[in-house]
Amino acid sequence: MRDGFVVAAPCKINIHLRVLDRRSDGFHDLESVFQTISFGDELRVESLKERFACDVLMDGPVPPERNIVFKAVAAFRRAVPFDGGVRIQIEKRVPFGAGLGGGSSDAASALIALNRISGAELDVAALEAIAAELGSDVPFFIRGGTAYVEGRGERVFPIPARDDYHLVLVNPGFASDTGRAFALLDAARDSASVPANAGLSRDLLISSVRENPEQWPFFNDFLPVLERESPEYRRMIDGLAAAGALFAGLSGSGATCFGVFSTRKDAETAQLRLSAEWPFVKAAVPLARAGKAVLE
């Protein structure tokens, strides 16, 4: 057996995403329902003999030292006395700028792997605190599953998950820049050029997850703003609805949209149909179980 192990880094969708006003620090508080799904990256984690060594290997545009996984290793070392060397090879499947939290999930999975190989045995709350230093979406991924998320993303309330629906993801083949999406939303609000969605109470959001997706009251505040910029967003949402989705929405700040279907067959039929038009179309299911799967 090779040294090391593989840990899954499932991505997420935002079933619901409301953006509150810009704060004095420039960030925005959110009210969101997050859901991990059965699609994502994988991390192969190995120990190295050299103390403090950190190799992050990944094909892609980001140099290793700017990779969020590299930053996760540094943050973990600051939090606990751990000087072991590590090599983390990222099998990247989630597109960049997709609104699926690919990098954030990689970072959370790296923290979980380091917690295991260092023997530090930090609890979930301690891992979430390190995760919050790394990015707004990272704390959610420590547990995953279904959660109501508030603040910048650091207040995570797990809610009972369901696994009785199927998903189809559609990505238009371009990345969405999160900072730009927030700036567009601020500008639209300042000029009152898009109607504001009314907030939904936390209780309603949590109880609605159990409802028939056709009745879901969920929305994503970025969608009307991004739609004005790129016609692809409306085409993805309408295409999912025309392919039979019970609910269709935008994940994160784009650019991926998702549709909810009641059966695998319906999802596969929609996947086939949408693949004729879009470069990246995936079928997936919600992950009902929280926690990270160690795969080997």
Nearer to ligand C5P, 182 or 258 (CB): 182
Structure tokens that stand for 145 in this block: 């599953």
Nearer to ligand C5P, 149 or 243 (CB): 149
Nearer to ligand C5P, 135 or 249 (CB): 135
Q: Give the binding-site size for ligand C5P (rule: CB under 6 A).
A: 10
Cα-based distances in Å from 247 to 115, 223, 237, 272: 38, 14, 9, 18
Nearer to ligand C5P, 115 or 136 (CB): 136
> Per rule CB under 6 A, is residue 132 in the interface with ligand C5P?
no
* Stretch of 58-66, 125-133, 174-182, 267-275 contacting ligand C5P, by CB under 6 A: 174-182
Report in angstroms how near the CB of residue 153 gets to ligand C5P at its nearest. Answer: 6
Nearer to ligand C5P, 38 or 178 (CB): 178
Report in angstroms how near the CB of residue 244 gets to ligand C5P at its nearest. Answer: 33
Distance separating alpha carbons of residues 259 and 165, to the nearest angstrom: 10
Q: Report yes or no: 274 and 170 within 8 Å, Cβ to Cβ.
A: yes
> Per rule CB under 6 A, is residue 152 in the interface with ligand C5P?
yes
Q: Report yes or no: 139 and 293 within 8 Å, Cβ to Cβ.
A: no
> Per rule CB under 6 A, is residue 136 in the interface with ligand C5P?
yes
Query: x-or-dash pattern for ligand C5P, window 256-295, by CB under 6 A?
Result: ----------------------------------------
Tell how many helices (H) and how many strands (E) occur in the chain.
Answer: 9, 10
Report in angstroms how near the CB of residue 283 gets to ligand C5P at its nearest. Answer: 27
> Per rule CB under 6 A, is residue 133 in the interface with ligand C5P?
no
Question: Of residues 179, 195, 198, 215, which one binds ligand C5P by CB under 6 A?
Answer: 179
Burial class (CB in 10 A: 0-12, 13-18, 19+), 190: exposed
Query: x-or-dash pattern for ligand C5P, window 1-40, by CB under 6 A?
Result: -------------------------xxx-x----------
> Per rule CB under 6 A, is residue 228 in the interface with ligand C5P?
no
> Which contacts (CB < 8 Å, 24+ apart) does range 211-214 have?
212/246, 213/165, 213/246, 213/247, 213/260, 213/262, 214/246, 214/247
Distance separating alpha carbons of residues 152 and 158, to the nearest angstrom: 16
Question: Of residues 178, 197, 230, 262, which one binds ligand C5P by CB under 6 A?
Answer: 178
Distance separating alpha carbons of residues 134 and 253, to the nearest angstrom: 18
Report DSSP letters for 27-88, one per residue.
-EEEEEEEEEEEEEEEEEEEEESSTT-EEEE-SSSS-GGGSHHHHHHHHHHHHS----EEEE
Nearer to ligand C5P, 26 or 119 (CB): 26
Report in angstroms how near the CB of residue 104 gets to ligand C5P at its nearest. Answer: 8
Distance separating alpha carbons of residues 66 and 173, to the nearest angstrom: 23
SS3 264: helix
List active site positions. 12, 137
Burial class (CB in 10 A: 0-12, 13-18, 19+), 121: exposed
Report in angstroms how near the CB of residue 63 gets to ligand C5P at its nearest. Answer: 17
Q: Which residues contribute to the site for ligand C5P (CB under 6 A)?
A: 26-28, 30, 135-136, 152, 178-179, 182
